[in-house]
Homo-oligomer: A and B are copies of this chain.
Amino acid sequence: MQETGNPFEGPQTKHETQDGVFSAEEVRLANRNSGAMLEMLSLDITPVGGHYLLTHFDVPLIDASSHRLRFEGAFDNPFAMTMDEIRAAPAITRTVTMECAGNGRAGMSPRAYSMPWLYEAVGTAEWTGTPLAPLIEKAGPSNAVVDFSFEGADFGYDKGVPHFFGRSLTPDELEALDVLLVYEMNGQPLLPQHGAPLRIIVPGWYGMASVKWLDRITALTDRYTGFQQVQTYRFRQTSDEVGEPVTAIRVKSLMVPPGVPDWITRKRQLKSGLVRLEGRAWAGATPIDRVEIHIGGDWHTAELAKPLGKYAWRGWSFEWWAEPGHYKLACRATDAEDNVQPLEPEWNLSGFANNAVQQVEVFVTD
């Protein structure tokens, strides 16, 4: 069936990509999915409509009043909860920086044929909900449970495989992570495109773990084999490799592009003199240790702002006496475990977790 381009039957067409050249299908994904406007990195909290969005299938529109979260499978006391019951459970709000695992994909060479993020798939929000662990405990998972799966109401095809978007966490991961069942973002009910009425947030991990439109949590005595868990979101060098799962967010930083932009190229113009460079750095649940700014051949140490929280990005700034000229500015973060951003992307087949340093092209005039 390849001649009709039917993506719902295998085997699938293999898409080749060429550096610096993108297809209409990639542009369609870029138009549909929303990236951050980098100047809004100056805000501690990303406004709702400015937060990145990556939606695999269609946004399901769910009636909150009849929605139930079902706890199923190998639980001693499986149950279902209404949204009112979930809202009545103890509520906490966490400031969490979320980044798409595919952020930076278009910077890899060769790049995978998928959503062509450059730098934009990151945002920080205040997520309100109730901790998941006590509810799992209440449902009483059997001792034989090896995975909890989290499945959403969004359904579609990827590589010819029909599935609801779903992910899993092991009991150990669930214990180690502060997973929240979330119904509010920045103090407002979740919007449809952010997972209304209910999603999980897995702080410190790339965004694929934070399942939207959450429908059911299943306790499994065999490993979860959902498409989004085992067939993608893995670090692979070749397609026949099982690969390592993508999990915690790697250390990364971005700069608020200084000065003013050219509309199309997004290159920047600055007046010479004192310029305050600023941006954000993050590393999942690991604290940021330092940020360095690269200007004209030298690395300079930036000043770090007060932390916003364990899982939130950290502000940084650097005062630069800008002399006229043409610059490629860069910023590089190091976390408390001494992980440092690479200068070049660490390649993998699907283009995941590219944390190479960002470059910002700047023209300084008299």
Query: A residues engaging B (CB < 8 A)?
Result: 4-8, 15, 20-35, 37-40, 42-43, 47-51, 53, 55-59, 61, 106, 113-114, 116-118, 120, 155-158, 162, 188, 191-194, 257, 260-267, 269, 326, 361, 363, 365
Contact = CB atoms under 8 A, between A and B. Distances in A.
Contact of A22 (B4, B23, B114, B188): B23
B263 A158 contact: yes
A73 to B, nearest CB: 25
A229 to B, nearest CB: 15
B269 A157 contact: yes
B263 A56 contact: yes
A281 to B, nearest CB: 20
Given A37-B58, A267-B5, A49 B193 contact: yes
B29 A264 contact: yes
Most buried by B among A43, A56, A116, A162: A116
A35 to B, nearest CB: 4
Most buried by B among A22, A53, A162, A361: A22
A57 B22 contact: no
A15 B263 CA distance: 14
Nearest to A191: B47
A55 B28 contact: no
A47 B195 CA distance: 13
Given A156-B260, A191-B47, A37 B59 contact: yes
Nearest to A261: B156
A26 B6 CA distance: 28
Given A22-B27, A32-B120, A43-B61, A37 B7 contact: no
B260 A326 contact: no
A4 B8 CA distance: 47
B118 A24 contact: yes
A320 to B, nearest CB: 18
A346 B188 CA distance: 43
A22 B32 contact: no
12 contacts: A4-B326, A8-B363, A21-B23, A34-B34, A48-B48, A48-B49, A50-B191, A50-B192, A58-B260, A156-B261, A156-B262, A156-B263
A56 B262 CA distance: 9
Contact of A265 (B7, B162, B257): B7
A245 B267 CA distance: 28
B40 A59 contact: yes
Contact of A49 (B5, B20, B53): B53
Contacts of A155: 260
Given A156-B260, A156-B261, 17 more contacts: A5-B361, A21-B21, A21-B23, A28-B266, A29-B266, A31-B33, A32-B38, A37-B55, A47-B193, A48-B191, A49-B49, A49-B194, A50-B191, A56-B263, A58-B260, A113-B264, A158-B263
A39 B55 CA distance: 11
